[in-house]
Structure 1
Amino acid sequence: MVEQLVSHKADKQTPAPWYREPWFWMVMAPLILVVVVSFTMVSIAVRHGDDVVSDTYYKDSRMYHYSAEQDQRARELNLAGMLLFSPEDKTVSLDLRGQVEFPEKLLLTLSHPVEADLDAHVVLEQISIGRYRGKVEAPLQHRWYLQVMPELDPEQFRDAQWRLKGEINFDIGNGVPLKPVEP
């Protein structure tokens, strides 16, 4: 009988495994939750990061400056244009006027306001003096920012002599005037 009492007391003093202790879970649960939420936030930030601004901004020390030389040059040349999109055959035509020697080709950049992955570049070929036409692969719906310039390489847009800008909302219409950005 004494042996049974001693063995019964020894069983009660044996600690439970660590994962069955309530204090362990009260201390570790918030830490585990913080780690899970942190990994979730990091993966969202990496997957859906902000798009890079593509315009004539440059960084000088801690300040960002906007270079308006291309817009100024377009104003000096009295450049203006009218873009007309045709959703049926996915073409775009540009009527350009101004005191400039019209290049054989122009580059039209369609920038989506939210998703940089949807941005598109269209090469506009001259069909007559001041008139250009090109094929658009981007979806012609909702709102887009537009830019026309004589530089054909989209990565070299800072080297273009001039540029015209505009904004179109295809829910409202298919045509938009292009003009230099006002200072």
Structure 2
Amino acid sequence: MVTKQTTRPWYREPWLWLVMAPLVLVVLVTLVMVSIAVRYADDTVSDTYYKDGLMYHYTAEQDEKARQLGLAGLLQFEGQAVTLELNGDFDLPPQLLLTLSHPVEANLDRNILLSRVAASRYSGSFDGDMRHRWYLRLMPELDPDRHLQAAWRLTGEINFDLGRAAPLNPASQ
């Protein structure tokens, strides 16, 4: 008596799935990890670090100029309004540029144009996300790409989780 052996299709063999399942799982996890790495890439390292290092003396001169002029300010965020009280020993310009730089995500950086509303008071509006920590830079140059040509600058840092005000001073050496 000859027994007739029925053959199953290859995809119904259990040994095949025992071998293939870990391989498929590794491929899927790898694809997910690569997509996360590309989408949420950390852009804290400047691509122009060498040029930034060469330009350091320009920013040091800006800080020294601000120190000589006796510049200091207090920045306050109230709702979407931004106010700045600026003290200094010279005629203040009619407009200033405030740059808010996110410590990790460059696409979240914001520039705010502040206009003088009183002798030493400036005002503007901020429509961004008021959470977490931000680096602040104030300068008389209104074009953010020309920040190295500004006559002076004030810097600071704000953490919106802790408060809505921040002092602005020349960077310490």
Fold agreement, TM-score > 0.5: yes
Give aligned-pair identity as a percent.
Answer: 51
Paired position in structure 1 for 2:21: 29
Please point out which of 106, 111, 121 is paired with 1:121: 111
Alpha-carbon distance in structure 2 between the residues aligned to 1:139 and 1:154: 20
Asked if the contact 2:131/2:160 (under 8 Å) is kept, the reply is yes
Alpha-carbon distance in structure 1 between the residues aligned to 2:172 and 2:157: 14
Paired position in structure 2 for 1:133: 123
Asked if the contact 1:120/1:137 (under 8 Å) is kept, the reply is no
Asked if the contact 2:63/2:170 (under 8 Å) is kept, the reply is yes
Alpha-carbon distance in structure 2 between the residues aligned to 1:49 and 1:142: 19
Asked if the contact 2:44/2:103 (under 8 Å) is kept, the reply is no
Greater relative contact order (CA < 8 Å, ≥ 6 in sequence) = 2
Amino acid across the alignment from 1:43: S
Q: Where does structure 2 lack aligned partners over 5 or more consecutive residues? A: none
Paired position in structure 2 for 1:105: 95
Q: Deviations over 1:77-97 (max 9, x none)?
A: 33211212323xx32221222
Q: Deviations over 1:113-171 (max 9, x none)?
A: 45544432210012233321112222445443222111222233333232211122344
Q: What is the Cα-based RMSD across aligned positions, in Å?
A: 2.8
Asked if the contact 2:115/2:123 (under 8 Å) is kept, the reply is yes
Alpha-carbon distance in structure 2 between the residues aligned to 1:101 and 1:18: 84
Amino acid across the alignment from 1:154: P
Alpha-carbon distance in structure 1 between the residues aligned to 2:153 and 2:122: 15
Alpha-carbon distance in structure 2 between the residues aligned to 1:29 and 1:172: 49
In the alignment, is residue 161 of structure 1 matched against residue 151 of structure 2? yes
Alpha-carbon distance in structure 1 between the residues aligned to 2:150 and 2:44: 20
Paired position in structure 1 for 2:34: 42
Asked if the contact 2:103/2:134 (under 8 Å) is kept, the reply is yes
Alpha-carbon distance in structure 1 between the residues aligned to 2:104 and 2:49: 23
Asked if the contact 1:74/1:162 (under 8 Å) is kept, the reply is yes
In the alignment, is residue 174 of structure 1 matched against residue 132 of structure 2? no
Please point out which of 77, 80, 84 is paired with 1:94: 84
